[in-house]
Amino acid sequence: MEEAIESSLKEWQKIEPPEEFVKKANMNDPDIYDMAEKDYERFWEGIAENIDWYSKWKSVLEWEPPHARWFIEGKLNASYNCLDRHIDSRGDKTAIIWEGEKGDIRKYTYRQLLDATSRFANSLKDMGVKKGDIVTIYLPMIPEAVIAMLACARIGAPHSVVFAGFSADALAQRIENSRSKFLITCDGYLRRGKEIPHKKRADEGVSRVDTVDKVIVVRHTGSDVPMSKQRDVWWHEVMDSASTGCDPEIMDSEDMLFLMYTSGTTGKPKGVVHTTGGYMVGTHITTNWVFDIKEDDIYWCTADVGWITGHSYIVYGPLSNGATILIYEGAPDYPERDRFWDIVERHKVTIFYTAPTAIRAFMRWGEDIPAKHDLSTLRLLGTVGEPINPRAWLWYYENIGNKRCPVVDTWWQTETGMIMITPLPGITPLKPGSATRPFPGIKAKVLDDEGNEVSQGHGGYLALTRPWPSMIRTVYKNEQRFIDTYWSKWDIDTYMSEDGARRDEDSYFWILGRVDDVIKVAGHRLGTMEIESTLVSHPEVAEAAVVGKKDEVKGEVIVAYVTLAERISESDNLMSDLVDHVADEIGPIARPAHIFFTDELPKTRSGKIMRRILKSIADGEDVGDITTLQNPEIVEELKRKVDESG
Ligand code: WTA
């Protein structure tokens, strides 16, 4: 088997873009790279013409590292670019096809989406939301999530979308940091046929903060939920009484469009600030060139709107291109494991963008499942979120794309806002497992600790050495963290991605994964420190260390090593209590797959926990040098525990 794959990999060393595809591709001129390289500011200036501005910028870029300002004094509105500007030519075109887990379908044309957005924008205003107020959105995958985001953008109120799978506590933490006064949520939603009591979680979250005055509740499942008299209002009621038509607020290019909390090395998630002009320019063009969006495409990105992928490649990128997007509420294996392919077939999806973890799950379920469906409408496939192993890439290419569809492996981050390293499907020969090369105008390098470029084939840190329009502007209310995290490893103008990478003989990039304490579980970004502090907040836990263990499907799973307070015996109950505790405090995605109790954690003489060693133990790998530990004997003991657990 392995051999067959090896030879197959050789055979597929480079996959040239299909001729037919190249001919029609939105971008098929290989000179675009050189052109952008000659003068990247001029390049981005030309690209910015694809966005509608109330007034144009006075200059393209002000770069005072690490602060960049793009399209200075340009005025625009993001929701105008996603809606109003399409009305003349695409008013009756479908903007959103939504499918519920039960199979119910709702559609919005561009005109209907504009109408709903305007009404909701007016409702927000009626409620007292002003330009600059941060609105928290805590909604599952329903059209109202998109409408709420666009309505916020319309009135200049930055949104902070919190992933619906996060717990009350995680919600509270994000509301607290942003001091947000408004929350949009819903009664409940379906996950594998079961209703998740979302309003209850939202209420718990709100009760832990003192900022929220108003909660708007979407009636989605129709279940009975308690409504707080002064505070809560129904979405449909405010919509009914809202006036139609809402002039978009004229926003400065550098006004904040949204905040997106993401995990990093230290305990608390950080609020990544994105602004309007550069973000719209970057997401618009990457959607157009990387996904090759055309007028009649049905585009489906399976990410959740609660993550950056949902922001950039469900909402702002595709809608600013006037695309038809598909949104699915539920799980990929409900009611059966062919749900995704059934959706592709029924809605005639042409472009499909998902995460490697999903592909690996499909692979495990077997190729017979997609083979039962007509997937011939597909013409382009994409992946994002974690490194894709060549085997999974090939499986995707062969079994979903039938060797006809280019696969774009897109590397980027919450902080980059837009896709940074990616093939352009009409130009770039593909190599399974490689994100290939930087998007035109983007400069990426692989550096060593001293900031020197490492030679071909060797691993180093992935760095971005030139500003780009949709780059993170700061960490909300924590400028120091912004500088320390991203701009302090080398010179102040060089962005540290916290990913490892290497380049091959064609200068293609191969992303090796995170080099910090962030783990990616099924594509979701989690900080080990967040999980550790949650474990330690349990009364019976004294100390905890969390690492990512390699996993064939999820990429990584969470392994926790825990020392207990006093000598409480490690009952089975305690193990499941701790797992539940983490799920309650952060969300089910943060659930540890294994917990090992130990009397001690391996520490250096200065008392620092050696996570590197704990990771090697979890992965069953050689632990390397342990002579600097104050308690080297603990290593053997932990290895034995991990081995015994199978
Ligand atoms: C990882 C998701 C390899 C990487 C858009 C990055 C990838 C982190 C890829 C950001 C890819 C994303 N190949 N790794 N194509 N895309 N990553 O902020 O480790 O949720 O730093 O943004 O995902 O995760 P985030």
Q: What is the pLDDT of residues 156-168, one digit of tens each?
A: 999 999 999 999 9
311-352 confidence digits (pLDDT tens): 999 999 999 999 999 999 999 999 999 999 999 999 999 999
Q: For residue 518, which atom of ligand 1 is closest to its CA?
A: 19
Is 435 touching ligand 1 by the criterion CB < 6 Å?
A: yes
Domains defined along the chain, listed by start? 19-441 (3.40.50.12780), 522-645 (3.30.300.30)
Pocket mutation for ligand 1, best pick of 161, 283, 383, 386 (most atoms within 8 Å of C-beta)? 386
Residues 229-258 have pLDDT tens digits of 999 999 999 999 999 999 999 999 999 999
Average pLDDT of the segment spanning 548-574: 86
The pLDDT of residue 627 is 83
**Cα separation values, 476 from 171, 260, 481, Å:** 16, 9, 9
Q: Rounded CA gap, 267 and 262, in Å?
A: 11
CA of 33 to the centre of ligand 1 (A): 23
Distance from the alpha carbon of residue 481 to the mean position of ligand 1, in angstroms: 20
CA of 355 to the centre of ligand 1 (A): 10
Closest CA to 246 of 129, 434, 356, 84: 84
Q: What is the pLDDT of residue 5?
A: 47
Best probe residue, ligand 1, of 354, 436, 514, 525 (max atoms within 8 Å of C-beta)? 525
Confidence of residue 4 (pLDDT cuts 50, 70, 90): very low
311 C-beta closer than 6 A to ligand 1:
no
The reported pTM is 0.94
Tell me if residue 556 falls in helix, strand or coil: strand
Nearest in space to 375 (alpha carbons), one of 338, 408, 394, 349: 349
pLDDT mean over 193-221: 97
What are 563's strand-pairing partners?
543
Ligand 1 binding pocket mutation candidate from 263, 412, 528 (most atoms within 8 A of CB): 412
| Residues 407 and 397: beta-carbon distance below 8 Å | yes
Report whether pLDDT(2) > 70.
no
**In this predicted structure, what is the pLDDT of residue 239?**
97
**Residue 193 pLDDT exceeds 70:** yes
Distances 301 to 148, 309, 423, 425 between C-alpha atoms, Å: 19, 8, 17, 17
Ligand 1 atom 6: residue of nearest CA: 413
> Ligand 1 mean position to 404 CA, how many Å?
26
- What pLDDT, on the 0 to 100 scale, is given for residue 361? 93
Residue appearing with tokens 């910090």: 516
Contact between residue 153 and residue 117 where contact means Cβ atoms under 8 Å apart: no
Specify whether the CB–CB gap between 281 and 44 falls below 8 A: yes
Q: What is the mean pLDDT of residues 33-56?
A: 98
What pLDDT score was predicted for residue 572? Answer: 66
Q: What spacing in Å lies between the alpha carbon of 550 and ligand 1's midpoint? A: 16
Q: Is 514 annotated as a binding residue?
A: yes
In this structure, the strands spanning 324-328 and 135-137 are unpaired
Q: How many Å apart are CA 136 and CA 40, to the nearest integer? A: 35
pLDDT tens-digit series, residues 19-29: 999 999 999 99
pLDDT at 570: 64
Query: Do the strands 351-354 and 298-301 form a parallel or antiparallel pair, or are they unpaired?
Result: parallel
Residues contacting 583, CB < 8 A, separation 6+: 167, 590, 591
Ligand 1 midpoint to CA 133 (Å): 29
Q: Is the CB of 249 under 6 A from ligand 1?
A: no
Q: Is the CB of 308 under 6 A from ligand 1?
A: yes
Q: How many CB atoms lie within 10 A of CB 306?
A: 23
Query: Has residue 569 got a pLDDT over 90?
Result: no
Nearest of 592, 586, 530 to residue 266 by alpha carbon? 530
- Whether 385 is in the pocket of ligand 1, judged by its Cβ within 6 Å, is yes
Structural contact between residues 394 and 5, judged by C-beta atoms closer than 8 angstroms = yes
pLDDT in tens, 473-519: 999 999 999 999 999 999 999 999 999 999 999 999 999 999 888 99
How far away, in angstroms, is 6 Cα from ligand 1 center? 26
The first and second tokens of residue 5, run together, are 């794959």
538 annotated binding-site participant: yes
Percent of the chain that is helix, strand, coil (3-state, to 5): 35, 25, 40
Q: CB of 525 closer than 6 A to ligand 1?
A: yes
Closest approach atom of ligand 1 to CA 413:
22
Residue 13 annotated as lining a ligand binding site: no
How high is the pLDDT of residue 608?
A: 85
